[in-house]
Amino acid sequence: MDFKKTIRDIPDFPKKGILFKDITTLLKDKKALKASVDVLARQFGKKGIKYVVGIESRGFIFGTALAYKLGVGFIPVRKKGKLPSKVRSVTYALEYGTDTLEIHEDALKKGDKILIIDDLLATGGTVGAVAKLVRASGAKIVGVGFIIELAFLNGREKLKGLPVYSVIQY
Give yes or no for a contact between 92 and 169, defined as CB atoms under 8 angstroms apart: no
Give yes or no for a contact between 69 and 37, defined as CB atoms under 8 angstroms apart: yes
For ligand AMP, the binding residue among 70, 121, 133, 141 (CB under 6 A) is 121
Give yes or no: 149 in active site.
no
Give yes or no: 105 in active site.
no
What is the secondary structure of 29-96 as a DSSP string?
A: SHHHHHHHHHHHHHHHTTS---EEEEETTHHHHHHHHHHHHHT-EEEEEEETT--SS-EEEEEEE-SS
78 scored as a contact of ligand AMP (CB under 6 A): no
* Residue 50 or 76 with smaller CB distance to ligand AMP: 76
For ligand AMP, the binding residue among 54, 63, 143, 155 (CB under 6 A) is 155
For ligand AMP, the binding residue among 4, 8, 18, 91 (CB under 6 A) is 18
Give yes or no for a contact between 137 and 107, defined as CB atoms under 8 angstroms apart: yes
Polymer length in residues for the chain: 170
* Residue 28 or 109 with smaller CB distance to ligand AMP: 28
For ligand AMP, the binding residue among 7, 36, 116, 119 (CB under 6 A) is 119
The one catalytic residue in 42, 58, 88, 102 is 58
Cα distance between residue 73 and residue 162, in whole Å: 21
Stretch that binds ligand AMP, among 25-33, 76-84, 109-117, 121-129 (CB under 6 A): 121-129
* Residue 45 or 99 with smaller CB distance to ligand AMP: 99
**Which H, E and C letters describe 13-35, residue by residue?**
CCCCCCEEEECHHHHHCHHHHHH
Catalytic residues: 58, 95
Contacts with ligand AMP, residue ranges (CB under 6 A): 18-21, 55, 58, 118-126, 155
